[in-house]
Amino acid sequence: MAKRPYTVIRGGKLLDIAKRAATPADILIKGDTIAEVGRPGLAAPAGAVVIDAKNRLMHAGLINAHTHGPGNLGKGMGDLWSLELLLTASPWLNGGRTLEDKYLSSLIGAAEMVMKGCTAAYDLAAEFPLPSVEGLSAMAKAYEEVGMRAVLAPMVADITFFDAIPGLMDRLSPALQKEVESFRYAPWKATTKQMRKALQKWRFDKVVLAVAPTIPHHCSDDFLIACRDLAREYEVGIHSHVAESKVQVVAGYGRYGTSLAAHMDALGLVSERFTVAHGVWLDDEDMKRLGDRGASVAHNPGSNMRLGNGLADMRGMLNRQINVGIGTDGANCSDNQNMYEAMRLASFSSKVQGPDWPRWITTEEALRAATEGGARALGLHKEIGRIAPGYKADIVFLDLHHVNWIPTNDPVNALVHTEDGTAVHSVMVGGRMVVESHKLLTVDLAALAAKVEASRARREKVTMPAKKLYGRLEKVVGTFCPGLAKAPLHIHRFGASHHAH
Ligand SMILES: [Zn+2]
């Protein structure tokens, strides 16, 4: 790279979102940054590396605005899971993990994302009972090895799920109450200290840190304020699951007497640095509040359906000037990391919400959310999300001879509604090819599969007691929480009206 700092991509077609066109264009790259985008035959310095992009459509790398690296080892482990049941299953899904497992889990997700055209992600990574510099570094190493960008936010809490949902603990038998003691997190001061240590010592280049109080009412106010101050001090993002499920919103009103978003705003967490994950049950006022503060929502339509949380109102968010990014969520509730599918679902899930078609999300809006919107949520909007001079050379090359692109009518519609990742031919991140001819260049997938299988077999045994405990808890959580979700509320986001009150 140092000897031949220039790369020129010739012969490809560049996606022009506004014009809905695939236009012949050459791209000159200096180091990791786009220097010039021009007509075919663009002048390039002598010795520039030439990349032939004939029969390729080039689009900006997709940006996953919400995922969980640790979720990848839990891919496909469950089916009928509400969010509350998934949280209950956490010790089973995430237990028994070594430092190597943490690394492997992130590696699987990063590999899948780049192979499916995604070049950056906002990753909320949990370690129990508190984050560690070693754990976060192992996860960051996975992203660096794959060669993609990430904002890595240790996901933290100081109140257990059972304490956070009003009335739930009382429903557990004394024996189960004792069992769920093992769910307890470290005290918030210890957790904050670890986050600070990580922020101080961070040495990674393409992976930066952020702060993620996981769910507002799973954190004490003192802890939320500490998270806010840490994010301000180190000028990093804050990301939180706000109003993901109706149960959360009902719990929030019970605890604060206000909406969750209003409570976080009152504590000063809502700003341009703030990203709400999901936001399915945000109401008009919440949306206005977030929009006025310049905040973002990471919209995860696949996960929202998969966990039965309902259909988020992306049109409402855009109308109130919220920056919207699109995410896959973790592989234990999505169950893949395919941003093409996430875009498609963002479009489709808007179109089932009613007959008022001008409110539906257009393919252009879905694509912009999955690129420029995600970039802004990650705080990287000056660097990624577009193919233009000054931006990092994060470029996806789709094979226009793949059956997905025969014929190529409107390339924006095709990218969002037709493409499923199978036409991804090559992927460049920061001027470096990470995927070429459909092959991941940076990680040996066969070797990864062997390591992960050994890990899976070991953890299956180690987590057997946690799986059994889940079975006992499912009976209580699985009846109590749907009951709470039937409480009257002024908004309705479920897909069918018979749950409305
Ligand atoms: Zn999440």
Give me the phi and psi of 179, to 5 degrees please: -60, -40
Mean pLDDT of the region 200-207: 96
pLDDT confidence of residue 10? 98
Q: What angle do CA 309, 497, 323 make, to 5 degrees?
A: 45
CA separation for the pair 314, 293 (Å, rounded): 17
pLDDT (tens digit per residue) in 40-72: 999 999 999 999 999 999 999 999 999 999 999
Measured torsion, CA atoms of residues 460, 89, 221, 167, in degrees rounded to the nearest 10: -150
Largest CA distance in the chain: 76
Residue 2 has pLDDT above 80, yes or no: no
Element (H, E) at 398: strand 395-399
Residue 128 has pLDDT above 70, yes or no: yes
Q: How far is the CA of 298 from the centre of ligand 1 (A)?
A: 9
Q: How far is the CA of 51 from the centre of ligand 1 (A)?
A: 37
Q: How far is the CA of 329 from the centre of ligand 1 (A)?
A: 5
Long-range contacts of 229-233 (CB under 8 A, 24+ apart): 230/192, 230/195, 230/196, 230/199, 231/273
% of the chain surpassing 70 pLDDT = 98
Q: How far is the CA of 166 from the centre of ligand 1 (A)?
A: 21
Q: How far is the CA of 134 from the centre of ligand 1 (A)?
A: 22
pLDDT confidence of residue 3? 57
pLDDT (tens digit per residue) in 296-314: 999 999 999 999 999 999 9
Q: How far is the CA of 501 from the centre of ligand 1 (A)?
A: 27
pLDDT confidence of residue 496? 86
Q: How far is the CA of 241 from the centre of ligand 1 (A)?
A: 6
Q: How far is the CA of 327 from the centre of ligand 1 (A)?
A: 9
Q: How far is the CA of 188 from the centre of ligand 1 (A)?
A: 20
Q: How far is the CA of 332 from the centre of ligand 1 (A)?
A: 10
Confidence of residue 326 (pLDDT cuts 50, 70, 90): very high
Q: How far is the CA of 437 from the centre of ligand 1 (A)?
A: 32
pLDDT (tens digit per residue) in 450-475: 999 999 999 999 999 999 999 999 99
CA distances from 470 to 78, 92, 294, 298 (A): 12, 7, 40, 29
Confidence of residue 500 (pLDDT cuts 50, 70, 90): very low
The two beta strands, 432-436 and 424-429, are: antiparallel
Q: How far is the CA of 221 from the centre of ligand 1 (A)?
A: 21
The two beta strands, 207-209 and 33-38, are: unpaired
Element (H, E) at 16: strand 6-16
Q: Is 22 left (phi over 0), alpha (psi -120 to 50) or beta?
A: beta
Q: How far is the CA of 418 from the centre of ligand 1 (A)?
A: 26
- Give the mean pLDDT of the chain: 97
Q: How far is the CA of 197 from the centre of ligand 1 (A)?
A: 24
Q: How far is the CA of 56 from the centre of ligand 1 (A)?
A: 34
% of the chain surpassing 90 pLDDT = 98
pLDDT confidence of residue 353? 95
Q: How far is the CA of 425 from the centre of ligand 1 (A)?
A: 29
Q: How far is the CA of 269 from the centre of ligand 1 (A)?
A: 18
Residue 497 has pLDDT above 90, yes or no: no
Residue 406 gets which letter from DSSP?
S
Reference 397, options 58, 50, 62; nearest CA is 58
Q: What residues have a C-beta under 5 A from ligand 1, the ion?
A: 277, 329
pLDDT (tens digit per residue) in 375-428: 999 999 999 999 999 999 999 999 999 999 999 999 999 999 999 999 999 999
Q: How far is the CA of 303 from the centre of ligand 1 (A)?
A: 9
Q: How far is the CA of 67 from the centre of ligand 1 (A)?
A: 6
Mean pLDDT of the region 90-103: 97
Residue 323 has pLDDT above 50, yes or no: yes
CA separation for the pair 57, 24 (Å, rounded): 9
CA separation for the pair 48, 429 (Å, rounded): 18
Q: How far is the CA of 68 from the centre of ligand 1 (A)?
A: 6
With contact defined as beta carbons under 8 Å apart, do 395 and 387 qualify? yes
- How far is CA 58 from its chain centroid? 23
Question: Any idea which residue has 């992203």 for tokens?
Answer: 143
Residue 1 has pLDDT above 50, yes or no: no
pLDDT (tens digit per residue) in 249-285: 999 999 999 999 999 999 999 999 999 999 999 999 9
Residue 102 has pLDDT above 70, yes or no: yes
Q: How far is the CA of 18 from the centre of ligand 1 (A)?
A: 31
